[in-house]
Amino acid sequence: MTISTRSRVNSLLFALILLGATATATVPLAQAAPPDVQAKRSPLLAALQTELERSLKTLGTLDPPAYYLSYTITDTQRVNVSGSNGALLSSDAARNRWLEVSVRTGSYNLDNSHKVGERQMQSGGPGTPVPIDDDAEVLRRAIWLETDKQYRAASEALIKIKTGKEVKVETAEGRAPDFSREQPHNFIGPLTSISVDRKPWEEKVRAYTKAFRESPAIINSIVTFTAQAQNAFQVTSEGTQLQFGQIRYRLELFIQGKAPDGMDIDRYYNFDWVNPSEAPDDKAVYAAGATMRKELEGLVAAPINDPIVGPALLTGRAAAVFFHEVFGHRAEGHRQKDVTEGQTFSKKVGEQILPSFLSITDDTTLKKLGSQDLLGYYQYDDEGVPAQRVVLVDHGVLKNFEMSRSPLTGFPNSNGHGRRQLGATPVSRQGNLIVTSSKMVTNAELRVQLIELIKAQGKPYGLLIDDIAGGFTFTGRGQPQAFQVLPLVVYKVFPDGRPDELVRGVDIVGTPLAALTKIVATGDTPEVFNGYCGAESGSVPVSAASPAILTSELEVQKKESSTDRPPILPPPAHDTVKTGGQL
């Protein structure tokens, strides 16, 4: 499964496909690392700055004037090695550069990004590729053409916006300024690069996927290794000049089976690291593969769970995604501003929205939680604002939102959460969502409390949600304010002491304001879930961390199922009938 292409996303539905490895953090939250030392300045910055000054000198005097320009080049070096069922699928390495030009016409209060009614005014295209050579003249020519394109689109959009404002009703939230004034930042960090010998990884993906052929329940297996070094160069008309880089490595394991009734059964496991020396060894990968195989074989034979409302215990992985979907998306700043959004929390700052023992921060300055690397770490967001630790909920009380440079009334500035996939426009997005609790018990005690709740409510069983694929949530006003979390490994827990029973076909559903109030206790061991989240500004790397949670009431429904039956014949290697007779 390719994370970035399996999200179910549209303008009202934002999917989190967090196909990450479980990582139990047994130490307190890591402290943010000090900024990298100043490094050699790339000649790209000089080319960007020269063309920015030339463009602004003219475009700033036109009608409408360009009041803000930003030029960003992202240089990406990437290695991919993928195998399936014991054979190599692909092995390649590539490098490219992408130029993004942001032109804002009008003023900080009203510009071409303003949304009128239900229609967002578009401003130009997604950017353009540029050569990887450090040739200033070639680069400046590309910037010149893209700037002209973006200015024309921005000026046309502003004219339509001013006309639309005369006939459209605006909310108080929509009357906030369109762009925040921020202090310029100058930082020149060292450039990053990777040097990967693909041959050993080609052998590894062959071997890892070949091991999955031992199980007749596994229809397909894919293992993918990726390595990426990305360097960003940004200059703005406010005086910001940035140069910084980041490296990421990932190993993804995916297997697929099919139950007798046609339901697809998928299992995932990921390893994420940033230091080449911390790559997982074969022992760890084969152990993860063995666990995946055992769980898939059990799920193929497991019964389907019926819809039910009752007590449930979510392990840290599942709880992390629960908070990402139920709370995190609704705390993104731009959703409080948009009239088409449900604006669940826009009027609740200072009110209690969670039990008083829970607090939530979004801290994109954190590189690690315990020993686990966090995918949501970065130095500067995609609007040139430094990463920050933001307290969103303090002992149950809503305090803040994840803010980009799109201000809200009472929240005039960014807190470093303007993010995007290359080619998209930044909006406020989650980074490292960290849930902490002051009402912790051991995970064993949490299970005891689950059984007590089952008995007190007279339920035949409760649920233990042990692993999860991801989820999605509706935040648009025209849709139900609902979420859906997609568990993979779920057990029935019986109050009479019977062994837990593995079940399949379970989706967690509900509405946020109700679901958040049903949490009654948490475990004492936070777990990390790394993955990629899809929304309006594309797919961005995120992390979520939480201890296990016990909820007094959780609703589950039956999972969507395919009508295709399993293959008629067994896999060739597991067919006991061969040509010439039976073995």
Q: What is the CATH number of the domain that holds 183?
A: 3.30.2290.10
- What is the C-alpha separation between 270 and 282, in angstroms, rounded? 14
Give the CA angle between residues 299, 303, 308 to the nearest 5°: 110
* Same domain assignment for residues 208 and 181: yes
Sign of the Cα pseudo-torsion (565, 568, 574, 576, in order): positive
* Same domain assignment for residues 254 and 343: no
CB neighbour list of residue 250: distance below 8 Å, 6 or more residues apart: 224, 225, 226, 270, 271, 272
How many residues are recorded in the chain? Answer: 583
* Same domain assignment for residues 190 and 319: no
Which DSSP state fits 204? H
Q: Is residue 170 part of a domain?
A: yes
Query: What are the pLDDT tens digits along the chain (583 aa)?
Result: 222 323 333 333 344 444 443 343 433 333 333 444 568 999 999 999 999 999 999 999 999 999 999 999 999 999 999 999 999 999 999 999 999 999 999 999 999 999 876 545 454 467 999 999 999 999 999 999 999 999 999 999 999 998 876 545 555 666 889 999 999 999 999 999 999 999 999 999 999 999 999 999 999 999 999 999 999 999 999 999 999 999 999 999 999 999 998 899 999 999 999 999 999 999 999 999 999 999 999 999 999 999 899 999 999 989 999 999 889 999 999 888 876 665 778 789 999 999 999 999 999 999 999 999 999 999 999 999 999 999 999 999 999 999 999 999 999 999 999 999 999 999 999 999 999 999 999 999 999 999 999 999 999 999 999 987 766 665 655 565 677 878 889 999 999 999 999 999 898 888 888 889 999 999 999 999 999 998 889 999 999 999 999 999 998 887 766 667 788 888 888 887 654 444 4
3-state secondary structure of 547: coil
CB neighbour list of residue 260: distance below 8 Å, 6 or more residues apart: 300, 565, 566
- Give DSSP secondary structure letters for 109-158: SSBTT-EETTEEPP-S-S-EEE-SS--HHHHHHHHHHHHHHHHHHHHHHH
Position 282 scores a pLDDT of: 98
CA 554 to chain centre: 24
- What is the C-alpha separation between 162 and 114, in angstroms, rounded? 9
CB neighbour list of residue 455: distance below 8 Å, 6 or more residues apart: 495
- What is the C-alpha separation between 119 and 121, in angstroms, rounded? 6
- What is the C-alpha separation between 283 and 286, in angstroms, rounded? 5
Q: Is residue 583 part of a domain?
A: no
* Same domain assignment for residues 92 and 228: yes
CB neighbour list of residue 224: distance below 8 Å, 6 or more residues apart: 2, 80, 81, 82, 83, 205, 250, 251, 252, 254
Crossing angle of helices 198-212/282-301, nearest 10°? Answer: 30
Position 27 scores a pLDDT of: 32
* Same domain assignment for residues 292 and 329: no
Q: Is residue 210 part of a domain?
A: yes
Structural tokens at position 136:
């200033």
* Same domain assignment for residues 118 and 229: yes
Contact 22, 526 (CB under 8 A): no
* Same domain assignment for residues 405 and 501: yes
Q: Is residue 575 part of a domain?
A: no
* Same domain assignment for residues 149 and 188: yes
Position 474 scores a pLDDT of: 57
How many domains does the chain divide into? 2
Contact 559, 266 (CB under 8 A): no
3-state secondary structure of 449: helix
Q: Is residue 570 part of a domain?
A: no
* Same domain assignment for residues 209 and 219: yes
Radius of gyration of the chain (CA): 25
Residue of 430, 390, 392, 405 whose CA lies nearest to 535:
430
Sign of the Cα pseudo-torsion (450, 451, 452, 455, in order): positive
Strand partners, 551: 312, 519
Contact 429, 535 (CB under 8 A): yes
The neighbour count for residue 85, using CB atoms within 10 Å, is: 17
Residue of 416, 443, 410 whose CA lies nearest to 525:
443
- Give DSSP secondary structure letters for 169-186: ---TGGGS-SS------E
- What is the C-alpha separation between 66 and 154, in angstroms, rounded? 9
* Same domain assignment for residues 281 and 308: no
Q: Is residue 566 part of a domain?
A: no
Strand partners, 87: 84
Q: Is residue 60 part of a domain?
A: yes
Position 101 scores a pLDDT of: 97
Phi, psi dihedrals of residue 223, rounded to the nearest 5°: -125, 130
Query: Which of 270, 301, 332 is the last residue before a domain boundary?
Result: 301
Place of tokens 């559903």: 509
* Same domain assignment for residues 382 and 252: no
- Give DSSP secondary structure letters for 289-353: HHHHHHHHHHHHHSPBPPPEEEEEEE-HHHHHHHHHHHTGGGGBTHHHH-TTB--TTTT-TTSB-
* Same domain assignment for residues 521 and 489: yes
Q: Which amino acid is at 273?
A: W
CB neighbour list of residue 526: distance below 8 Å, 6 or more residues apart: 24, 25, 316, 369, 370, 434, 435, 436, 545, 546, 547
Give 308: exposed, middle or buried? Use CB within 10 Å, 0-12, 13-18, 19+.
middle
Give 190: exposed, middle or buried? Use CB within 10 Å, 0-12, 13-18, 19+.
middle
Position 117 scores a pLDDT of: 62
Query: Which H or E run includes 243?
Result: strand 241-258
Contact 415, 428 (CB under 8 A): no
Q: Is residue 107 part of a domain?
A: yes
Residue of 561, 551, 466, 556 whose CA lies nearest to 508:
556
Query: Which of 240, 275, 301 is the last residue before a domain boundary?
Result: 301
Q: Which amino acid is at 347?
A: K
- What is the C-alpha separation between 542 and 325, in angstroms, rounded? 12
Crossing angle of helices 43-59/136-165, nearest 10°? Answer: 40
Sign of the Cα pseudo-torsion (297, 301, 307, 310, in order): negative
- What is the C-alpha separation between 525 and 25, in angstroms, rounded? 7
Q: For residue 443, what are the domain limits? A: 3-32+303-558
